[in-house]
Chain A
Amino acid sequence: MRVILRKAAFYLLTAWAAISLNFVIPRIMPGNPADNLINQFHGKLSPQAVHALRVLFGQSGQNLWQQYIGYWHSIFTGDFGISYAYYPSSVSSVLGQSMFWTLILVTVSTVLGFVLGTALGMLAGWKRGSWLDSTLVPVTTFLSSIPYFWFAIIVVYLFAITLKWFPLSGGYAVDQTIGLNAGFIESAVNYAILPAATITAASVGGWLIGMRNMMVTTLSEDYVRLAEAKGLPKRRVMYSYAARNAMLPSLSGFAMSLGFVVGGSIVTEVVFNYPGIGSVLFKAAQAADYPLMSAIFLLITVLVLLANLAADIAYVFLDPRTRES
């Protein structure tokens, strides 16, 4: 329990750092994003919108400390101002609509990628030097060196354009209305298959190689040798002795890998024109929509931190040594 509390405190600290970074960056960067945006709209912005921009980017005539307090206030009230890429929607409502698409897509494909990669890595490590190992490792190395978005382009080209097995882009068929009805869900699943498969395939490699190397290292531990000496069935040695221990570092390295996978997934969405955060980010970047970009950065950071906390809790359950008080 204490371990989890300490981890939670660390993630809180990290969240604070990220949020503060988001406050500091626009203020130390050259140029003046707020003025750029206000000029772009040629005075068509409402006074509230102008005020929100000033709060976000400074130059509101207040000193830095007051600005910082105001900034935190808008964070807690969820008031990130107006989106310029989706004018006149507010940033919160744009994110509210796109968030769940990304959340479901990325969660499902990350979990799939992790499970598949860890399972295959376990086998490859167990059979180090076999044909399985010597095929899987180069293939997945190549797969994981491919930029996610390019992989997505190839997948779209092959399966959506050439073979026409799956829809080309979007999140659901236009003749469906969003809601919990069979037609929409079926269509959403159909549209999600290609992006999910892309992210899963692209992320499998990293997990696989990490797990495989840990597995090989673990196999020379004394406890694995003892398990063999005990005449246990191979499965028991592989699962309960080798893999169970080998996957612990994989899980504690989850943080770093997750950031990478999420980053890749976001860019992947752009290729599929998927109605999630990635596509929104792309549009925001095109329109220099700073409020939207900052909010997306914060949202992703917080979600990644939560996922990390979940991984840490799982770790505590899997490794009795951390349960010690």
Chain B
Amino acid sequence: MHWFILKRLLIIPFLLLIFSVISFVLIQAPPGDFLTSYIAELAQGGTTIDQAQIDALRRQYGLDRPIYMQYLLWVGNLLQGDLGVSLEWRRANVELIGERLVLTLALTTASLIFTWAVAIPIGILSATRQYSALDYVFTVLNYIGLATPNFLLALVLMWIAFDRFGMTVTGLFSPEYAQAPWSWGRFVNLLQHLWLPMIVLGVAGTAQIARVVRANLLDELGKPYSEMARAKGLPEWKLVLKYPTRVAIAPVISTLGWYVPQLLSGGLVVSVVMSLPTIGPLLLRALIGQDMYLAGTIILIFCVLTVIGTLISDILLALLDPRIRMEGN
């Protein structure tokens, strides 16, 4: 077990190195840099800026150094816990990202829990009652869930809430809590606002994972060990929950590897539509404004979150399956 986790942990620095390179390449890809678009913006507003000032700014932000030096500088600062400064906002990235990261995590985790809490029972019910009316209803809902872009679902729900109930269901806090420091009241307020984005974000994944559960459980229900348990005289529901479900859950847990990135991706779009103060809209703005270090840092944070998700799924899998646990012993 320890050996298994150790092995996974050892890969992480290597992965992060690759991800940091990818992030850096991505933010360097646009032609020009922040200053070019900044100057263009100023020029549009009628302000001109002389060459000396530009050079000064360029030096200040390290934009005059060779690319690899810029990368090393960026990574070096990151390693020391310095996330850099946003060129556009003229504020430390930590300040900008800080609370937004917490809210992103809250939204992602909530959606993940929602997905599992809904998808696993649906998958079990569908598989044990294969070809029943219930199974068909779930199948139809699944297809619709898969086909609906989450921003569309968000827009429709927001519209219904506004049109029918006169509610504006945007944001994650009521106005009085938006800028307030953390308190119990603010936390409760967050929960009151979180459920709708949580569902919107989780629907597509719920459909996918319910399918995974159903397909795997159907496979496992036909396996000899399920029949053996039946031949022992075990009641059907006990049997299903104890044996095949436990085996069929493993693929669900390993979906974390792609589901976390998918949640982060989807969260970005949902946040833009529902005006949620998460990292996503910040990234979108940073990308459009070529605020490179902010964008790069956020992309890297997304990658780190994915790596953490994969690690958690590996540990859960090891807890669940003795064959993985005993690997290497």
Q: Do A and B bind each other?
A: no
* Interface residue ranges, A against B (CB under 8 Å): none
